[in-house]
Each structure stands twice: as C-alpha cells, then as structure tokens.
Chains A and B, each alone.
Chain A
C-alpha cells in the first residue's frame, strides 16, 4: 500500500512541497528550541563546571553568583585551610560590571583570578598570565565587539589591555572576563572581603561530611557542593526562561501536526472514492488506515529529513550573526525530533483515519 500512499501524495507535487516546507520549518523551530535549551544550560554552567572546587562557601542566604550577594571576610581563607580534609582554598570575587568599549557601554561578569583553578575555561589566543591592567575576555564578547588581543577597554575608569581571548564563558546576556584578583577587589571595593571561597577537599573526604562540618563550625556561611551551586546559578534561567522554550516546543509540535493533518485530511477527502473502491475490492480497514498513516509518516519523515540539516545551518548562521546565541546542535536532538515527527504524524493521521472509516464502499458504483 506504500505505492498507493506515496503516489497519491505525489500527484499534487506543489502541495506536497508546501507541506514538506511547513513541516521542515516546524522541525527547524523544534531543533532550534532544543538547541537553545541545551546550549543555554551548557553555556551557563560551562565556567562553573570548569572551576576546580568541591565546595562553594558563601555568606548565609547567598546561593548563586547572579541573584544573591555574598560577602565574606577574607581571613576566613586561613581558617578554612586549617580545617580537616581541606586540600586547597581559593578566594573568589566576581560581579557584573559595565565595560566601556569604544565609548559604548556593555556588560560583563568580571572574575578576579586567584590562580588557574578559577581562570577561564579554555584559552583561544593570547595569554592567561594576567597582571594588573590586563584582561582576558570571552571569544563571544570579542566577536560581538570586534575586539582582539592588544585592544583596550575600560571598566570603572580603569583601562585594561586585552591579553587573552578565551572560550566557555558565554552566558548569552553577558560573558565572563578575567582580571587579577587584587584588581578585581579594587574594582568591586572589596577591601578585606571576598564573595565566595572555593574549597578543594582531600580525595578521601566526603563532600557532604565536609559541608556539615563547615556549616556547624561557621553558622554564618552556606556551603554547597559544586553541582548544587551550578544548579543554583542555572535556576535563574531554568525556572523562568527555559520553561518558555518548552511551551514554544509544544506549539511547534502542534503546528507540525496540524500541517500534516491538513494535508492528509485533504488528500483523504479528495480520494474518498478510491478508498471506497479499495473497500469494495476487499481491502481490510486496517490496510486503509495504514495508507493514511503512511502518507502522514512520509510527510513527517521528509520534513524531518530536510529540517535536520537546515536547522544546523540556521544555528550556524544565527551564531555567525549573533555570536552570543547559545544554541547547540547534537545528534541526539535529531533523533528526538525523529520521534517527535513520528508522533506528529501518528496524531495527524487520526482524523483522516476516522474519515476513512465512514467512507461507503458503494461509492465504487458511482461516477
């Protein structure tokens, strides 16, 4: 029956092409949203995952870098270092700041680098060996603002020379930039204060035991395992923005389903006499339903086949024109989308199948 299903579809070539275009557009939208969802989460967490810390320690009540403020006395570093099971302690200072580029005001999350354990994820060009008055910026920020190693920018009336460009610090709304710890403290006015302590534990020490001990001895601090702290930072977007993407994904699936449903329903209505003939000459109902289902599946599969490579092209183009666009393209997205288009097709075939069930085989006796 595949023969009849496919040939009937191809009788109206322009309509079939329009249908495929519509479905592939829905597939592109879906893949873009999936890419945005995953890309956003990965970009937002890339730097925090890179930072070498088993435990983040902040002021009681603070739980992330973006929504809450944490201020701790710098001398806490010595106390923590002396605690049992602690291998290394690093002070962390970081804050969203205005960056002036060629007279234009931009934003960046400035991090004071104590050593490589809190530095950028991956250096693309230049050097990460920072001195006061030097800065490493993210490649997305560099492309967006047309900056390169050797160029200058201004933060709070302090001129900085770009000595390195790194990747892995794109949070869409802003990017990470790295200066020396002492200069960062001066910029933020953190005299004798830090925002967080990054604690690395001995290999045989349990993170939960260490956190319990830290919170017991210092009731004015909150301690988080690395994964928890990363998740806390993602919650800003995860709780507010990313669910919107999910809603858009559902809308995209519905649009795809409606397009397939419309095409197959129209085809079924136009070809109802042929379904009548098929019934008359002995085609069982399940065979007739399978014809409609196959047509829906052909539409869905063709749309998927075109939509997948097209979506990768769209993501590449989007990232070219909007460097901070955090979409990611993975093969798993394509496989998920294949499942999605199959579901769309099956759902879309429900109405044509109902129509087929009502077609009278006696139509075969009529003109």
Chain B
C-alpha cells in the first residue's frame, strides 16, 4: 500500500499547499468577454478548510476548476502541491488531478453501472493499483464512512447521504493533499448535509488535508478555518465571518 501514504505519515508542509497569484480566467474575446475569475490572490496552507461563498455565476466553480487543474488560467500563476499548473502538459495535469486532488461534486457523480466499492476503486485502478489491493483499500475507506453494508450496492440503490459518502471515499482513495468540494451538501437533506460537513472537518483535523469548499450552505462557516466571498470573479473575506 505504499502508493497510498497513510494519514499518519503526512507531515504538514512548510509552504502553502494552494497558492494563486493574480489569476484571471476570461471566457470569450472583445466586448463579449466574461471575466469569470478576475485577479485572484490566495494562499492556503495545509490543514485549512476554506469556504468560498457566493451566488451562482460568481465564479466559485471556475475558481475551484482552476485550482483543481481542470482549467488553465488566462493569466496568473496557480500553484498547488508544489506544482505550477500552468507549466504542466495535459497528461501531467491529469496525473496531478489523480494524485493531488480529491473531487467531491454536488451531484455525487458516481459511475452508475459500478458498485460503491468499484466506484472507490476507480482512482486506485487509474493509478495502476492491482485489483485486489484496490478492492481492499476501497472497502477500508467505505467501512470508515460507515458503508460496510453497502459495498456491493449500485448508486441508484443508495441514499443521497450514502452517495456523497461514497464520493468522499473515492476522493480520498489516493490520499490527495487537497480536497475540492463543489456544493457538497447541495443535494442532501439537513441531517446528511451535517454529516458530510462533519466528515470534511475531520479530514482537516485528523489528516491535515487542505479542503476547499464552494457552497451556499452557511452551516459550513461553523467548521471553516476561513470564509471567503466570491463576487464577480473576485475573492474577499466574508463579512459574515
């Protein structure tokens, strides 16, 4: 299992895990150009849970996509886990996403034809892990999230909360230092939403992971180490904080 460093072996790095310098993302050209992210500067050390609040269309998801290596900035520097994402090739960027980022999406985005266990195995298999090893690790993660009785269930047979816990287990499969969660409680009821918030906080407290959450859910402010507001592609400290 040396491909997947255990939590206890992760040492807090001295530098920032996420660092954005004058990052801009512009869609379109000329008069129709839209500045989805407009000159953002951000530094996040390990062990922080940063909540980004903001209305729809404010640029939250674009910002997370830039940090997660799904988009390249129009200008500026995005550095995550010691990698300057602007300098990476497409293949290297894919490898970066696989090993350095864990994604949690609002709509869970599980593979509907696969079981819960197989969904969690997916990043492990992509990383070249042997089938049996991947299965054992996936089962370990799902047990950790209280899903030991749901290993062979397909997503359509799981509740919303269970789906999001499977998605969290998948995000953690390769022990990435950064977790990016886009509206992780957006499709959940109140009780399941709180459970997911608790799990996200646990990742920060117990494993010193860096968690970036984009959400409308103000409950997350209670567990966030920092709350930022995104408006018109710009980040500002949230006044609510």
Shortest Cβ distance from residue A92 to the other chain B in the assembled complex, whole angstroms: 69
The digit string for A1-44, where 1 denotes a CB below 8 A from any CB of B, is: 10110011011000000000000000000000000000000000
Shortest Cβ distance from residue B104 to the other chain A in the assembled complex, whole angstroms: 10
Number of B interface residues in the complex (CB < 8 A)? 30
Q: Find residues 109-131 in chain B having any chain A CB closer than 8 Å to their own CB.
A: 109, 111-114, 118, 122-123, 125-126
Rounded to whole angstroms, the CA-CA distance of A97 and B68 in the bound complex is 84
Q: Which residues of A contact B96 (CB under 8 A)?
A: 282
Rounded to whole angstroms, the CA-CA distance of A45 and B134 in the bound complex is 60
Shortest Cβ distance from residue A95 to the other chain B in the assembled complex, whole angstroms: 68
B98 touches A277 (CB 8 A): no
A7 touches B98 (CB 8 A): no
A282 touches B125 (CB 8 A): no
A11 touches B98 (CB 8 A): no
Flag whether B182 is at the interface (Cβ < 8 A): yes
9-residue interface stretch from B87-95, B190-198, B225-233: B87-95
Shortest Cβ distance from residue A262 to the other chain B in the assembled complex, whole angstroms: 20
Rounded to whole angstroms, the CA-CA distance of A4 and B96 in the bound complex is 22
Number of A interface residues in the complex (CB < 8 A)? 25
B70 touches A281 (CB 8 A): no
Flag whether B83 is at the interface (Cβ < 8 A): no
Q: Which residues of B contact A361 (CB under 8 A)?
A: 70
B97 touches A8 (CB 8 A): no
A281 touches B107 (CB 8 A): no
Rounded to whole angstroms, the CA-CA distance of A247 and B210 in the bound complex is 63
Q: Find residues 45-96 in chain B having any chain A CB closer than 8 Å to their own CB.
A: 61, 65, 68, 70-71, 90-91, 94-96
Flag whether B209 is at the interface (Cβ < 8 A): no
Flag whether B105 is at the interface (Cβ < 8 A): yes
24 contacts between A and B (CB under 8 A): A3-B118, A3-B125, A4-B114, A7-B113, A7-B118, A10-B113, A277-B105, A278-B126, A279-B94, A280-B68, A281-B123, A282-B94, A282-B96, A282-B97, A282-B98, A284-B95, A284-B126, A285-B94, A361-B70, A362-B71, A364-B109, A365-B105, A365-B106, A366-B107
